Structure 1
Amino acid sequence: MIRTDGKFRVGLIQMRSGRTPQANLDEAVKLIGEAKAGGAQYVQTPEMTNIMELSRDALFATIMEEDKDPCLAAFRELARKLQLHVHVGSLAIKVSPERAANRSFMIDPHGEIVARYDKIHMFDVDLAGGESYRESRSYQPGESAVLVDLPWARFGLTICYDLRFPALYRALAEAGATVLTIPAAFTRQTGEAHWTTLIRARAIENGSFVLAAAQGGKHENGRETFGHSLIVDPWGRVLAEGGTEPGVVMADIDPAEVTAARGKVPSLQHGRRFDIIAPIAEPAHLHVVGDPS
């Protein structure tokens, strides 16, 4: 059914990707079919839809260049078949023998790629309990923020760890984005502490919808992700939330709510440039040889 009221239905695909791209693809295709059957017009998969692999050697032995990637080709065909906007949250794509891109793709109902975004901020962290990640060892960071116009709204594309850098979202909102997308694979540890708070903050401070499909549960590679895919409105209200199991999270989006929220608190119009005045460090004491002091 084609809506005429300006609203649209979104479906977030929550996954638990493993080490085998074909198995991950099969699961994503099944869940996207469920979302379509439920009336979704736009679907979003999580970060690292095609593979969750901690071993660098195994990763590069498996992933492919964009024009050879079978998962991307399959998602393009699926978008055509289902007449659906398919937002692949991200795929690991080989860009050189030593480097990959953490790249998202927006695919239209004709199967055409209408936008690509390479994750800008690399997840290089050391957490409690010895949990450590160095995304920059295998992936090259993106350098450009990306917006894309869909039939209902202008979407700003980001991925996972980008969530912690609010300047990116303010720039996207100032450039016209009313829907911010944050497909993710948040760790359980950081997700329990910060996921919902940060997602709601990005929605509130920019007066935007936030759509965040997530990985969830204990993965084949031993990593544990938080799940809890979220759809949040411009006032910071949670419209729909997943748990930790794979599945589909759905909600209807009314773009008019962005205008209403920004009309109540027009903070995007109130931003001002400013200088920073910092303390001047006192000069270090110099001891001169022979100085009687």
Structure 2
Amino acid sequence: MTDFLAAALQLTSTSEPELNFAAAEEQIELAARRGAELVGLPENFAFMGDDERRLELAQDLAQQCSRFLVTMARRYQVVLLGGGFPVPAGDSNHTVNRAELVGRDGQLLARYDKIHLFDVDLPEGNTYQESATTTSGRELPPVVDVPGLCRVGLSICYDVRFPELYRHLVGAGAELLMIPAAFTAFTGKDHWQVLLQARAIENTSYVLAPAQTGRHYSRRQSHGHAMVIDPWGTVLADAGVSQGAAIAPVDNSHIGRIRAQMPSLQHRQAALF
């Protein structure tokens, strides 16, 4: 496997899907022009709006998102992650939050429905109840061997707070962990970067973390700072708070060196836990 450039895209998505698709394509094209071969879109890349509107759009939006990912991957010849979009869950009151990884030829490589749902009351006064209209995924996230790149493990946003999920991914062979997100501004300022670095360090894996940024609607504001982090925990690229991308090289030999220098994965006493 050769080294390659990976891009974590950063968007300020709204409740207007067509505008969101246009903004996403602009960033995909720019990343591809810079040489990125693996590109990640953030959670909710096609829609950030109220729950009622999301449920109303879900049927059509799910199909639009899948088609968009296939078209973009083929057009720009990149491996592309759609970091989370609504898909009907079998009743009119719920969706699943689905990520899809698509190859350069438009083939679906992997799919994951978000397991951990964000149900919290924050001190800032905002309450989030994702489970009210979203159904939790029931299958562990997959690891896929992307030809010519590396072995990639999927997750979505709030998953980052559950290290056992990433132990599953690295145990299944992941070398790069994709963590697309729409992290709130309140939690992101304290927890986003340190959680990403922890997942990279404890799993001696690259982390690619696309992100939402800025104000989307009403009081909903995202933290930004899409990142690429290496297996030592070094932040290789940070997109700041503007729409754009964090782009950095993924060095496959570096993964091996770090895992040899810090063989913590081999030292796990899993039988004791």
4+ residue segments displaced more than 6 Å: none
CA contact (8 A) 2:7 2:208 kept: no
1:86 matched to 2:80? The reply is yes
CA contact (8 A) 1:65 1:95 kept: no
Per-residue CA distance 1:111-164 (angstroms, 9 max, x = gap): 111110111100001101211101111111112221111122111100000000
Q: Distance in 2 between matches of 1:148 and 1:275?
A: 29
Q: Find the counterpart in structure 1 of residue 26 from structure 2.
A: 30
**Helix, strand or coil at the partner of 1:42:** strand
Q: 1:57 to 1:30 in 2, by over 3 A?
A: same
CA contact (8 A) 1:50 1:91 kept: yes
Q: How does 1:102-181 map to 2 (within 5 A)?
A: 102-143=97-138, 144-151=140-147, 152-181=149-178
CA contact (8 A) 1:65 1:94 kept: no
Q: Distance in 1 between matches of 2:124 and 2:204?
A: 37
Match of 2:46 among 50, 56, 63: 50
CA contact (8 A) 2:203 2:231 kept: yes
Q: Find the counterpart in structure 1 of residue 67 from structure 2.
A: 73
Q: Distance in 1 between matches of 2:144 and 2:262?
A: 25
CA contact (8 A) 1:21 1:71 kept: no
Q: Distance in 1 between matches of 2:87 and 2:128?
A: 19
Q: Distance in 1 between matches of 2:270 and 2:174?
A: 21
Match of 2:36 among 17, 37, 40: 40
The structure in which a higher percent of residues are helix is 2
How high is the sequence identity, in percent, across the aligned residues? 39
CA contact (8 A) 2:69 2:81 kept: no
Q: Find the counterpart in structure 1 of residue 12 from structure 2.
A: 16
Q: Distance in 2 between matches of 1:145 and 1:80?
A: 24
Match of 2:205 among 205, 208, 213: 208
Name the aligned partner's letter for residue 93 of structure 1: V
CA contact (8 A) 2:229 2:237 kept: yes
**Helix, strand or coil at the partner of 2:59:** coil
CA contact (8 A) 1:22 1:71 kept: no
Q: Find the counterpart in structure 2 of residue 95 from structure 1.
A: 89
Unpaired runs of at least 5, structure 1: 277-293
**Helix, strand or coil at the partner of 2:65:** helix
Name the aligned partner's letter for residue 74 of structure 2: R
Match of 1:7 among 3, 16, 23: 3
1:197 matched to 2:191? The reply is no
Per-residue CA distance 1:76-129 (angstroms, 9 max, x = gap): 112112221111111112222221011001011111111101111000011012
Q: Distance in 1 between matches of 2:43 and 2:270?
A: 34
1:264 matched to 2:261? The reply is yes
Unpaired runs of at least 5, structure 2: none
**Helix, strand or coil at the partner of 2:36:** coil
Q: Distance in 2 between matches of 1:6 and 1:57?
A: 45
The structure in which a higher percent of residues are strand is 2
Q: Distance in 2 between matches of 1:273 and 1:38?
A: 42
**Helix, strand or coil at the partner of 2:211:** coil
Q: TM-score of the superposition, structure 1-length normalised?
A: 0.89
**Helix, strand or coil at the partner of 1:128:** coil
Q: Distance in 2 between matches of 1:34 and 1:56?
A: 31
Name the aligned partner's letter for residue 129 of structure 1: E
Corresponding residue pairs, total: 270
CA contact (8 A) 2:238 2:246 kept: yes
Q: 1:221 to 1:62 in 2, by over 3 A?
A: farther
Q: 1:226 to 1:274 in 2, by over 3 A?
A: same
Name the aligned partner's letter for residue 194 of structure 1: H
Per-residue CA distance 1:215-237 (angstroms, 9 max, x = gap): 01111343010000010000010
CA contact (8 A) 1:163 1:198 kept: yes
Q: Distance in 2 between matches of 1:235 and 1:272?
A: 22
Name the aligned partner's letter for residue 26 of structure 1: A
**Helix, strand or coil at the partner of 2:47:** coil
Q: Distance in 2 between matches of 1:221 and 1:19?
A: 11
